[in-house]
Amino acid sequence: MSLNGRALTAYRHGLRATKIAFNGDIRMLTAARVQMRNGMIDPPNPELSKEDQIKHLEDIALFLRRNVVQGVKTPQDEARYHLNIHKDTELGDNEDTKIPKRNTLTGGKTSPVGGCCGGGA
């Protein structure tokens, strides 16, 4: 596929992702599409190669589709929100939070005691 064809395909993927991410919110949908159109006319990272710019747009479309979720206030309780989770939403598990992070202050060793410097919490 030509470079122009790949760019057009990435642009379509971006438009579809905005429709999924901002469904029903006309203001955000319009703003996202205007931003995407402006990015196609005047790329935000002109120092990147055309291939890298296309990959960046594909990554943005994937991020919108998987990681952006709308929250709508519930009419019964103004303090609660209903999340519009769809089939493409990436749902993580809480097991990831139990994995100890690499500590840069101890040279990459995890601290068995906790805290940023090995001190107790």
3-state secondary structure string across the chain: CCHHHHHHHHHHHHHHHHHHHCCCCHHHHHHHHHHHHHHHHCCCCCCCCHHHHHHHHHHHHHHHHHHCCEEEECCCCCCCEEEECCCCCCCCCHHHHHCCCCCHHHCCCCCCCCCCCCCCC
Does residue 30 carry a pLDDT above 80? yes
Stated pTM of the model: 0.68
Tens-place pLDDT, residues 79-108: 888 888 888 888 777 776 677 766 666 565
